[in-house]
């Protein structure tokens, strides 16, 4: 009976809310995906945060600080959405630090030059928007609602990345070369963000049936390529794939698939920056212990005052 109500709700595109009955596997796959997503936002602050002190002007610095703060905010909405499923944020952070929950592969690559900040905004946030706009229609209400605000902010992030690359691309030959180098390095990892091909994906079938994911990994990757190729033309930068060509029959751009063996290696912890990212996060968590203790002491004192 409960299962039937749940199935009907999903079939009717109604939202599942925290107090509604849901299958255990639906709950656990949501916790897995939302936690991974939250961890990605928080770890994702590192590659860009590394450039706050080196941004080339006060205006660029202020914009980058705002962007990195937005990512922290996204992490908080997502941890809150995960908590509505009965898990604790502390528990999720411990799982991340113990290497038992994942975060996006993309944040295990280094940011070598200022142009990387442009490439992250343009390509990484562009891929994120492509993946996340459909999540605004996810069957689980709190996740879907969190995604609405996140996507609005990601659109601004993508635009600022485009603008950085446009400026560099129309600057000196050295600046243009720096922009091209960043695009060359971030293109393939950005394609990998969408996950393995559907044929090799563990969760896509069930997650799309439950309307957690609205589309498979391959369809979203294709959408991203279709959106990005004309933008690269507008930037005057090349995408590092000779296989990109308009296919009139399919109505899409053909492109070369990324190296999925590299994706697997990065997911398994063997990317260029995996160890550094987790070490920095662990240190930040330990450094922040006094804030959590002070907040807990304040809450206990307040609760005591209210009870008196
Ligand atoms: N990286 O069956 P599949 C951002 C894992 S933050 C790492 O297709 P699923 C931003 C996958 O988890 C961007 N792991 O899985 C922040 C699974 O392993 P488990 C983050 C990956 O869940 C700051 C296994 O491989 N976005 O935008 O159906 C600055 C098999 O995959 C990856 C999100 O998290 C990967 N790339 O689909 C700027 C969006 N790909 O869990 C920007 C929400 C796959 O069985 N998440 N895996 O151990 C999703 O949409 C989906 O979870 C995915 C994967 C499409 C990522």
Q: What is the pLDDT of residue 259?
A: 98
**Phi and psi, residue 254, nearest 5°:** -75, 150
The minimum-distance atom of ligand 1 relative to the CA of 192 is: 36
Task: State whether residue 88 is helix, strand or coil.
Answer: coil
Pairing label, strands 245-247, 252-254: antiparallel
The minimum-distance atom of ligand 1 relative to the CA of 40 is: 6
Token pair, residue 115, equals 């142009």
For residues 142-152, give the mean pLDDT: 96
Q: Which of 211, 214, 220 is nearest to 193 (CA)?
A: 220
Question: Furthest-apart CA pair in the chain: how many Å?
Answer: 74
The minimum-distance atom of ligand 1 relative to the CA of 103 is: 7
| Measured distance CA(35)–CA(39) in Å, rounded | 6
Cα atoms in the 13 Å half-sphere on the side-chain side of 139: 25
CA of 104 to the centre of ligand 1 (A): 6
Q: What is the pLDDT of residue 294?
A: 97
Torsion (CA) 185, 101, 142, 70 in degrees, nearest 10: -40
CB 197 within 8 A of CB 257: yes
Residue with tokens 């507008």: 234
CB 97 within 8 A of CB 89: no
Q: pLDDT by residue (tens digit) across 93-139?
A: 999 999 999 999 999 999 999 999 999 999 999 999 999 999 999 99
| Measured distance CA(118)–CA(234) in Å, rounded | 15
Buried b (16+ CB within 10 A) or exposed e, 49-69: bbbbeebeeeebeebbeebbe
Nearest CA to ligand 1 atom 45: 202
The minimum-distance atom of ligand 1 relative to the CA of 157 is: 38
The minimum-distance atom of ligand 1 relative to the CA of 194 is: 55
**How does the average pLDDT of the chain come out, rounded?**
97
| Pocket probe mutation, ligand 1, options 30, 34, 36, max atoms within 8 Å of Cβ | 36
Q: How far is C-alpha 171 from the geometric centre of its chain's CA atoms?
A: 30
Residue with tokens 């993508």: 158
Nearest CA to ligand 1 atom 17: 202
- List ligand 1's pocket residues with C-beta within 6 A: 32-33, 36-37, 40-41, 44, 71, 102, 104-105, 124-125, 128, 131-132, 192-196, 201-204, 207, 213, 217, 267
Nearest CA to ligand 1 atom 8: 201
Q: pLDDT by residue (tens digit) across 48-71?
A: 999 999 999 999 999 999 999 999
Please state, as a whole number, how many other Cβ atoms lie within 10 Å of the Cβ of residue 175. Answer: 17
Nearest CA to ligand 1 atom 21: 195
Cα atoms in the 13 Å half-sphere on the side-chain side of 225: 27
| Measured distance CA(118)–CA(167) in Å, rounded | 10
Please check the confidence at residue 1 and state whether its pLDDT lies above 90. Answer: no
Q: What is the pLDDT of residue 306?
A: 87
Token pair, residue 254, equals 């053909």
Please check the confidence at residue 307 and state whether its pLDDT lies above 90. Answer: no
CB 280 within 8 A of CB 212: no
**pLDDT over 70 percentage in the chain:** 100
Structural Rg of the chain based on CA atoms: 21
Nearest CA to ligand 1 atom 32: 195
The minimum-distance atom of ligand 1 relative to the CA of 203 is: 2
Please check the confidence at residue 308 and state whether its pLDDT lies above 90. Answer: no
CA of 12 to the centre of ligand 1 (A): 26
Q: pLDDT by residue (tens digit) across 217-266?
A: 999 999 999 999 999 999 999 999 999 999 999 999 999 999 999 999 99
Please check the confidence at residue 17 and state whether its pLDDT lies above 90. Answer: yes
Task: State whether residue 16 is helix, strand or coil.
Answer: strand
pTM: 0.96
Nearest CA to ligand 1 atom 47: 195
Token pair, residue 93, equals 């952070």
**Phi and psi, residue 159, nearest 5°:** -65, -40
């Amino acid at each position: 009976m409960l299962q039937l109500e749940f199935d009907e709700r999903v079939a009717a595109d109604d939202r599942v809310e925290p107090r509604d009955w849901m299958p255990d596997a639906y709950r656990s796959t949501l916790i897995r995906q939302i936690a991974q997503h939250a961890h990605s936002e928080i770890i994702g602050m590192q590659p860009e945060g590394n450039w706050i002190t080196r941004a080339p002007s006060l205006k660029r610095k202020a914009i980058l600080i705002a962007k990195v703060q937005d990512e922290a905010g996204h992490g908080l909405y997502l941890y809150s959405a995960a908590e509505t499923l009965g898990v604790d944020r502390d528990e999720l952070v411990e799982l991340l630090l113990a290497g038992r929950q994942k975060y996006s592969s993309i944040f295990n690559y280094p940011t070598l030059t200022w142009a990387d900040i442009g490439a992250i905004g343009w390509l990484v946030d562009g891929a994120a928007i492509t993946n996340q706009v459909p999540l605004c229609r996810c069957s689980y209400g709190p996740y879907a609602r969190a995604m609405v605000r996140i996507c609005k902010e990601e659109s601004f992030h993508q635009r600022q990345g485009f603008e950085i690359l446009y400026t560099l691309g129309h600057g000196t030959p050295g600046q243009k070369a720096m922009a091209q180098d960043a695009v060359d390095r971030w293109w393939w990892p950005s394609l990998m963000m969408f996950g393995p091909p559907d044929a090799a994906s563990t969760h896509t079938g069930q997650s799309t049936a439950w309307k957690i994911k609205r589309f498979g990994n391959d369809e979203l990757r294709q959408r991203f390529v279709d959106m990005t190729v004309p933008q690269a033309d507008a930037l005057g930068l090349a995408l590092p794939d000779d296989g990109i060509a308009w296919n009139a029959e399919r109505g899409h751009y053909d492109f070369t698939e990324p190296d999925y063996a590299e994706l697997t290696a990065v997911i398994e912890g063997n990317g260029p920056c995996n160890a550094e990212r987790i070490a920095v996060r662990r240190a930040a968590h330990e450094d922040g212990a006094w804030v959590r203790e002070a907040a807990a002491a304040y809450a206990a004192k307040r609760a005591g005052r209210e009870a008196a």
